Every structure is written in structure tokens, then in C-alpha cells.
A and B are shown apart, each in its own frame.
Chain A
Amino acid sequence: MEEARTTAARINQLLATENRRTAVLIPLWTLAMTATFAQALFQRASMTYLDYGLAAAICLVAGIIVIDLGRALLSYIATMALTTFLLITLLSYPATTTDLPSPGNLLFSTLWIIVVFTTIFPLPLIACLVATVIGAMVGEKYF
């Protein structure tokens, strides 16, 4: 019981201010988005509607947590920039560290940059932005 109280107190302290909450949320949001995109690209090199739905749901919940619309938009931009960077790194790194014959060694990295950009831009990016805005509006009304 005492341990639960301590944990709850720590969590409340960690999320005490909006800045702290944002500082916690952006890394979590980035990791959730990266994992959602990565698990699909690692298996199929493409996203299904379910994967896109999951990404939109993540943005919706993140928007609800942030509440403030301006902060939500800025957090979203930061998250998507970090997600894109992480995805390209995660997908390209194994190709660059393996001793692949030419020209595959160079082409795989370029291929993944194209795949990541065509997967994220433009419709999924807009859809997630809309989900974030809706989430912020929902959060403002109910939280």
C-alpha cells in the first residue's frame, strides 16, 4: 500500500506541470509511432489500414493527454520529425553495417528513405494531425 502511494506520488510529481507532461509525452509518442510503423515495415515494407488506424489512435490519445491545441500541434510536429528520423535510421542501419555487394549496399538506404517518406507523407501525416486536433478537443471537453 505504501509502495503504491509512493509510486502514485512520483507519477503525480513527474506529470505535475504541462512542460513536464510534454517532456514525458513526446518521447512516449515518438516511440509508440516508431514502433507502430516499424513493426509493419519490418514485416511487409508497407502499412495496412489497421496499422494506419493504430497510428491515428495513438495521435488521438496523445492529443487527449496534451489538451492544449497549440501545444498538441507543436508536440505532433516534434514527434513526427523524430519518428521519421528514427524509422530511417532503424531501417537503413542493418543494410549499411552488412557487407552487401554493390550496388545493393547503397541502394537499400535510398530505398528505405523513399519507403518511409511514401508511408508517412502526405495522407497519413494529415490524418494523424487531424486525430491529434480531435484528441485535443476531446481532452479539453472531458478532462
Chain B
Amino acid sequence: MLPIKTSKRNLLTIGFAAFTFVMLVIAAFGAVNYNRFYPAITQIQMRILSLQTIPLNNIIEVKVAFAVKNPSDYQGLSLSHFGSTYSVVYVMSPTNNITALGGNLPYPSMTGSLNPGTTFNVALTTFNITANPTQMTSQPPTMIVFNFQPSFILSTFLNKVTEVIPSYECTSSGDPAVCDQTGLTLITSSVGGGPGGGGG
């Protein structure tokens, strides 16, 4: 019995199919990792590690330290340009609060890896607030609540096309606290005036 001959063209088609299969397998590995990217950026945790208040006459020196953690198993994230704004709420009485906008916290330029499961400790920063916002009365506030709005640039595989900036909201009156992710901003530059946007 003679074997059935397969033409060169058919053999090339079979080779093409085999190559396609190999490329699909390679792309599948990338796809699996890519699918873990979005959950990973939403899971990045920010918390106030410590918040110390030291009264000095009419001012209070505040020392705050933040920590950022990547609890996911996604590899390839790092942090840079950490920054934060803050505001202070003086609770004078159950019905009387005074809010003071504080501005930006001074942070040096920093970069840090966010490997799976690791925590990046942001350098301690110090700022001063007034001890009593109503200087006329001697009644001091019963409690001072700090609101921080930290954010940072998240370096990802998307660096060539966009900067990913998660922003958080943290509230504490002196204890360590977990922050809530409130927004995700993308700043694009190299993809020709693409999408950009402010925090949520």
C-alpha cells in the first residue's frame, strides 16, 4: 500500500499550525500573569505604622510613619515618589469640630520594591500643628483626629505608557490604622495624549 503524499504547501500549513500553538502557549503564560495584575494593584495595602504626638508649648510635634505592603503574589511592582497631604480635625466638643488643612508632608525622593508579601516602610516624617486652634479660649481640644491622603507612583510593566498612582485615605487619632484605597489615577505621556485623570 502506497503512503499518501502530503504536498509541500500542506506541510507548511501544518508547520504554521504548530508554530501558532507554540505562540499560544507562550502568550498563555503572559496572560496568566497579566490577569493577576489588576487584583494586585487593588490589594496593595497602606497603613499608618505609628503616629506620635509630642506637645511643645503651643504646638504639637507630630511624627507619622507609613507602611506599604503587597499582599498578592504578583511580582514586578515597585514604589516611588511617595507623598501625602494631611488635615487635622480638632474635636472641641461633641458638637463643635474645627478642621485645619495642613498641606503636603515633606518626603525625600524614595524608591522601594513591593515584592510579594513584603512591606516597604516609608521614612518617618515630622510636622507641627497648633495645639489649640482657638487661641482666645483656654479650652484645649478633647481629641485631635488626623486625616492623611497618601499616594505614590506604582512602577509596573506599564511604565512605558502610563504611570499608575493609587491614592489612599487614612484616619487616626494616634493609633496605627489601615488606610482605604480611594482612587487610581493614570498619567499617560508616551501614547499620544491618551487618557489621564484625577483621583477618585
Contacts and interface: CB of A to CB of B under 8 A. Distances in A.
B14 interface: yes
Nearest to B26: A39
Given A114-B195, A118-B191, A46 B161 contact: yes
Contact of B31 (A21, A38, A103): A38
Given A8-B3, A28-B20, A111-B195, A95 B38 contact: yes
Contact of B27 (A28, A38, A46): A38
A43 B10 contact: no
B3 to A, nearest CB: 6
Given A61-B16, A107-B195, A143-B8, A100 B184 contact: yes
Contacts of B37: 94
B194 interface: yes
B10 A42 contact: no
B75 to A, nearest CB: 12
A45 interface: yes
A16 to B, nearest CB: 10
* Size bracket of the A interface: 35 or more
A111 B188 contact: yes
Interface string B5-19: 111111011101101
A69 to B, nearest CB: 16
B35 interface: yes
B13 A25 contact: yes
Given A12-B6, A28-B20, A107-B186, A98 B38 contact: yes
Nearest to B31: A42
B54 interface: no
A14 to B, nearest CB: 9
A104 B164 contact: yes
Contact of A103 (B14, B20, B198): B198
A46 B157 CA distance: 9
Q: 4 tightest A-B contacts by CB?
A: A104-B184, A42-B30, A98-B38, A35-B23
Interface of B: 1, 3-10, 12-14, 16-17, 19-20, 23-24, 26-27, 29-31, 33-35, 37-39, 41-42, 157-162, 164, 166, 181-186, 188, 191-192, 194-200
